[in-house]
Amino acid sequence: MPAKYPASVLSVFGALVIALAAQPQPPELQDVLHRLDQAAQKFRGMSAKIERKDYTAVLKDTSTQTGTVAMKKLGEHGLQGVMDITAPDKVSYAFNGGKFEKYTPTMNTVEEYDVGAKGEELERFLMLGFGTSGAELLNSYQVKFGGNDTVNGQNTVRLELTPTAADAKKYMKEVDLWIPQGGNYPVQEKMIQPSGDYTLVTYSDVDLHPNLTDKNLRLNPPKGVKRIKP
């Protein structure tokens, strides 16, 4: 039979748990979250060069891709964006509302996915670090100060984000963001899956005020491309 504890003991224990949870964040973390809050209010879009490394734990193998990414916020809600991988093989991805597309030139195909109700959740993930406020991070993740690191010669603060939603935990174990000292967007992101696989994306030549048109933010495959819905 489980032991019974006096109500006074339980109340003290509960108060201790609440006190620990309410402990102030380290100054470095508070500062970063505040900067993200300010930047989110002004965010309208971004473009950048990217280097993407995908690690497969079972094979202990890492593959590297390079390309560009651009995205634009559509009003109060909604996101339109495109990612073009240029090496080693060309492939493009586009996202607009609840529609996700993948264009593979070597196969002359466009794969179309309707993400439906998951569209808003996917938008929040794609905007992670760009247009996401500190308050939104605290609402969806356990946010920890991960230390100070140097990324491509820049002094950064690393944030460790652990999803709090049960569904999110199935797909993502942790997301790390490297924010430059005094900056308000990540220069590097690491998305770690429960399997140990991860994706590491490094940004360069970031432009937070790009002149983006609809043509810049959608796939432009040649005529006759085969469209499929896997």
User: In the chain, where are the structural domains located?
Assistant: 28-228
From CA 35, how far away is CA 15, in angstroms rounded? 31
Residue 217 sits at φ, ψ, to 5 deg, of: -115, 20
> How much is the average pLDDT of 134-142?
94
pLDDT category of residue 114 using cuts at 50, 70 and 90: confident
| SS3 at position 122 | helix
Write the pLDDT tens digit of every residue in 63-102: 999 999 999 988 766 789 999 999 999 999 999 877 899 9
Query: Which residue shows structure tokens 């990217």?
Result: 50
Q: What is the DSSP letter of 26?
A: P
Record the pTM: 0.84
Distance of CA 92 to the CA centre of its chain: 18
- Structure tokens given for 211: 């002149």
Q: Which residue has the tokens 């996202």?
A: 95
Q: 164 with 142: CB under 8 angstroms?
A: yes
Query: Phi/psi of residue 119, each to 5°?
Result: -60, -45
Q: Which position has the token pair 């308050």?
A: 135
Give the fold, CATH level 3, of 28-228: outer membrane lipoprotein receptor (LolB), chain A (2.50.20)
